[in-house]
Each structure stands twice: as structure tokens, then as C-alpha cells.
Amino acid sequence: IHSFPTRRSSDLDFISKPAYSKAYNTNMVGMISWTKNESGNVVGGACASLKLEAIEKIIKQLKFGKEGYGVLISDDGTIIIHPDKENVVGKNINETDDTQLKELANVIKKNNNGKFYLKQGDHKKIVFYNKVPVSGWTVINIVHTCELFSSVNKKIGRASCRERVYG
């Protein structure tokens, strides 16, 4: 069980940190949304709980190609959802020794959405990210450039993902 931070938006809508539910035997998040009148006063609200697995299914659908994958991180950089649950979930990208991931963390802190490039040996990846306003979490989609540009590679006669079309 991991401990994740809580985030409140300026208009009081709220998504809780994931927490283990004994009743459901799984990690859950709580959500609250408020209704305000014309004066801005709260006049009602609704709340619900959602299994973290439901959010994980959505993040997994972000997969692009055979190697791409989705990730969800909290506003403090804690990894909430990642394909490698055992070794990555619960860790913080701000506390890694990997300089590229630290740079990615800094870029995400400064921007609500955008893209970032990672390089691991001969492999290049593009990281697309977008912040979720109510939670402050960031949805990340990591795409291998060779898969992204595979149709271009085929048209110019390059069959291997390791060969580059870009600089």
C-alpha cells in the first residue's frame, strides 16, 4: 500500500489520495464535486468513490504501438500508475538518479501539458503529458519514436525501429 498526496483545486472540487479500502479489498479514490449558485455559494454537492483499477484501465488504453505505455503521477511526482507496479509505483520522479526523469519532472511542474524527449541508448521516446486540473495529477503517454514514425520508415525503406528518420 502506497501513500499518495491529496490535492484540492481552487474551486473546492476534490479528488482524494488513493487509499486501501478493506470493504472492497482494493485501492480507491474519493471524489467530491460542488454545485454553486450565481453568487458562488455552495448549494449542493455529490461524492463518489472509484477503484483505482478503473483509472488504471483508462491509463492503460493510452498505449501507442507495441512498446508505448501510459503513466499517472501525483502533483508531487509520486508514480500512481505504471506498467511496472512492483518496481516503480509509489516512487517519486523527483527523487530519481536519472537526470532525464528529473528534467521531465521539472518540465511537468512548470507546464500543464506538452511533450518531452527521452533517450535510452539507441532508443528515443516522446513523452506527452497533460495535467488533470481537479486532482493535479499528470497523465503521461510514452511513445517510442520508431513506432510513431513507423509508416514514414516503411515508405523510405527502413525496416528497423532502431534506424532514425529524425535528428
pLDDT digits (tens, 9 = 90+) for 42-96: 889 999 999 989 999 989 888 888 888 999 998 888 999 999 888 888 899 989 8
Average pLDDT in the chain: 81
Q: How confident is the model at residue 5 (pLDDT cuts 50, 70, 90)?
A: very low
Q: What gap in Å lies between CA 68 and CA 6, rounded to an integer? A: 28
* Cβ atoms within 10 Å, residue 95: 11
C-alpha grid cell, residue 78: 509520486
Q: What is the pLDDT of residue 112?
A: 93
**Over pLDDT 90: what percentage of the chain?**
28
C-alpha grid cell, residue 24: 472492497
Amino acid (1-letter code) at residue 149: F
Cα 33 to chain centroid, rounded: 22
Q: What gap in Å lies between CA 123 and CA 97, rounded to an integer? A: 19
116: which strand partners?
A: 127
Q: How confident is the model at residue 7 (pLDDT cuts 50, 70, 90)?
A: very low
Give the residue, 59 or 13, on which the prediction is more confident: 59
Average pLDDT over residues 99-112: 90
C-alpha grid cell, residue 164: 532514425
Q: How confident is the model at residue 6 (pLDDT cuts 50, 70, 90)?
A: very low
Closest CA to 126 of 79, 69, 55, 61: 69
pTM score, two decimals? 0.74
